[in-house]
Structure formats: structure tokens, C-alpha cells
Amino acid sequence: MNYILSIDQGTSSTRTIIFDKEGNMLSISQKEHQQIYPKPSWVEHDANEIRTNVLFTMHEAVKKAKIQWKEIKAIGITNQRETVVAWDKKTGNPVSNAIVWQCRRTSPLIDNLKKDGYAELFSDKTGLVLDAYFSGTKIRWMIDNIDKVNSENVVFGTIDAWIIYFLGGEHATDASNASRTLLFDLHRMKYSEELSEILKVPINRLPIVKENASAEFGYYNVDGVSIPIRGVLGDQQAALFGQTGFSKGDIKTTYGTGNFSLLNTGDSPTKSNNGLLTTVGWQFGSKTTYALEGSVFVTGASIRWLRDGIGIIKDYSELDPLINEEKNSGGVYFVPAFVGLGAPHWDSSASGSFFGISGGTNKSHIIHATLDAIAFQTEELLNVMSKDATIEITEMKVDGGATKSKQLMRKQANISQIDIIIPKNVETTALGAAMMAGLGILWKDLDALKQINPFSEKYSPDMSEDKLSKKYWEKAVEKSKSWY
């Protein structure tokens, strides 16, 4: 038998999953790593701990699957995207903790770049907004503040590049991760000399950018066999690939702590006029697939707040039974702007707010309002994506923990007036990396990949869109912006 080993290195943990040719999970191993907060708004990870966890989960997954390493035909990698590691090529060890994508320490540098008038230049070349979220300013901070980094032996990379290095010895990345650095020109598909000069980040210390399904990422040598590392994708792009979103107009949304939507825009980058990000999906040879990306900061986190914050539910399994006690929210609207609002508003001062509460408001109304908020926020992303890309969206593939709520999926179908499709295998991030790694080995082409993750559930609109409810939601959002 032949299998693909997929490494899913995330913000809170590392998982290794082994997939067979039908896309079934043979085994899974997961290990959490420490979250390090040296100062307020600073977030770091121990890159050595991540290395240990990657190797541990790889070997445990093979052991659990009761297979031999020679049966693993390729290794796929998907990862938290903008997190940066610096390591010494001579020793093979990190010279500091990794700076995590959530870290805001470079906000002053971002403010200076904006004041100097660079926002439009970076947006035009990279498809990104100037923000501390992305990798480039993190590398600049390391150069300015960590003495060991200034040795010529020290190189930089996102988490995928770090994993590629310690598994196979190559200093390489892929375009989906490179496109999140503020240093990568989407139009030329290479690092920008101009932007690297502005950020004072030397290109020769960045990883080489290679196409996604390529054995040139190196080989992992174990038990007398050399296994190619040949499928590398950032986590959100991997989820789109795992959802078989191969064609222009395909869209997926991951319902997690927040929601991430990616729309396949085909073979040319689409500039957003509504605060979305333009990013690389994946690259095969000379052909590049691009995407528009939008994010909602708080979706699943609002459900967790119902449980842990105010105790309306004790377990997520209570959501649908409780919501069925009432037909709707009873005129209650909830804007879960706990950390401000993301796309398309980008308002960091917005406040979490309830509107329309009366003496008759009960648990069911509050739960309705919470799930409505998730669906309304996602619908806002779909609207601006459709406008930016001039693409009509008729269906959306979804994954993530909150998709377990049938009521939420029904609400999304009705609010957006589109079909909502849940795949058979909801581990789409790890599966996407495995599919990329196995392309040309286990699976002949993209058509063959479409057969391995069919949908298991489909929710179609069963009632007309309530335009009045959407109007009140929009009014509630505007009120939340002006609360303070």
C-alpha cells in the first residue's frame, strides 16, 4: 500500500495525519506547543519545540498506522503562515524564538511605513495591506534587535521553510507562503528588490521559492529510505485545495475561532477595492492560481463566549436543541466585535454589542442572534468578494468546527441564498497538503483529486432572504462602530 504523510503545523499544535489513496485518514498524532508572551501584544513560539513536535508526531503517526516508512511515498506540509524563524545554517539551530503571526511588536514600524507613503506601493506589488500581521517587518525587527541574526550564516523563513530545512536540508518555501511576507511581487512571482530595500531585508537570506508539487523541497531520510517533501501550502490555501477549489469562482470558508474565506480568482491577481487581500493560491510550473482572502475575527469564538463567558450553554451540543425552542432571534442582533471588525470594515475601535433586547429575550434568542452574526459577517465577505472579482457565487464549501451546527449552516444558506456544502473529510487543511504532495504519485491529475473528497451534506436555501433582517444587522454594525 502507498500513503501520504501530511504535517499540519498550526498556531497552537502540530498534527501529522497519514492518508491513503482514497483520502481516508489512516492515523493522526497531535502535540501542543507553548505560547510565549514576553510583553503585551508580543507572541512567540520555541522553534526547537516545534521541530521536536513535528518529528514526534511524524513517527507516532507511522507507528499508529502500523505501516513502514517505505510505504510513505511523499510528505506534505501545511503551516501557520506569517510566523518567522531565524536559524544558523552551520549549527542547524534557531538563534531566537519564532515571532508569531499574531505578534504586534512591529506596529510602530508599520506606522512609519504608512507615514512615509508606502502603503499603496506595498498593496500594488504584494496584494497585502501594511500590517504587523505579515512576515517582512518581523524579519526587519529581528535584524535590528537580535545580535546573532546579523551573522551571514543566519537565514530566515516561515514555518514551512523551517520544517523543510530540518527534514531535508533545503532552504526553500512555496509561493503561497512567500506571498504573505510583504516582500513578494505577485505580478513577477519573485521577491521584490524594491520592497526588500525599503524593509532592509536581504533577499539572499530568504528561502528560494519553488512550485508546490515538487520533489525539489528535499528528502527526509529514515529507515534506509528517502521520502520526497513535495507538497507545501499555507494553511488557508491548503484548505481551499483540500476542498477541491481548483476552478475560478470556487470558494471555501473555514469556520474556526474566526472565519477565513478564500475565492479562487483564476490565473491573474485581482485587486480588492474593499479591504480584502490578494494572495497566491498555488503554483504549478509557469501557471499560478490566485485568490482573494477575507477574514472575520470572531465567529466560533463568539460561541465559545456563550459557553465560557456568560454560561448560556455548557456544551456545544446544546446549541441546536436550544435554538429550536424559538423560530428566530426575536429582534435581537449581536455584533461580536470583541477585537474590532475585520474585512470589509477594518475598524479596530468597534465594540461587541447586543441590540433589541427586551424583557422577553431568552437563551434561544441569544443563540439565534449569535449564529445570525456568524452568517451575516460571512455574507459580508461573500458580497465584497463577488464585487471585487465580478464573480457570481452560487455555492460555498465549508469546513471547521462550527459547521457541526446544522442550524448555522441553514442560516448561512438562507442569508446568502447559496448552497452550503460540507465535505466528507473535514480535515481539509492537512488533506490539501497531502493531495498536493501526492499529485503525480498517488493521483494522476486534478480530476482524480476531485474524487477523493466528495461532499457529505448540502444545505440549500429553503426560504427567501429576509432583507429587513439584513438591514437591521447593518444598522447594528454601524452602531457598534460609534459606541465609544
Which domains can be identified in the chain, with CATH numbers?
Answer: 3-233 (3.30.420.40), 243-417+454-484 (3.30.420.40)
- CA 437, chain centre distance (Å): 19
Q: How confident is the model at residue 24 (pLDDT cuts 50, 70, 90)?
A: very high
Q: Which three cell numbers stand for residue 26?
A: 489512516
Phi/psi for 258 (5° steps) reads -125, 180
Residue-averaged pLDDT of the chain: 92
**Overall average pLDDT of the 151-155 stretch:** 92
Amino acid 424: pLDDT:
85
Angle in degrees, 0-180, between the axes of helices 363-389 and 406-416, rounded to the nearest 10: 50
Q: What are the angstrom distances between the C-alpha of 399 and each of 185, 256, 424? A: 30, 8, 10
Residue in the block written with cell 505560547: 35
Is residue 135 within 8 Å of residue 84, measured between CB atoms? yes
> Residue 439 carries which DSSP code?
B
C-alpha 153/C-alpha 203 separation (Å) is 14
Q: Is the pLDDT of residue 347 over 90?
A: no
Q: How confident is the model at residue 484 (pLDDT cuts 50, 70, 90)?
A: low
Q: Is the pLDDT of residue 463 over 90?
A: no
Amino acid 283: pLDDT:
92
Q: How confident is the model at residue 317 (pLDDT cuts 50, 70, 90)?
A: confident
How do residues 393-413 score in pLDDT, each as one tens digit?
999 999 988 898 899 999 999
**∠ CA(97), CA(216), CA(170), 5° rounding?**
30
pTM: 0.89
Cis peptide before 344 (omega within 30 of 0): yes
Amino acid 53: pLDDT:
97
Amino acid 427: pLDDT:
85
End-to-end Cα separation, the chain, in angstroms: 62
Question: CB atoms < 10 A from the CB of 161, how many?
Answer: 28
C-alpha 379/C-alpha 392 separation (Å) is 13
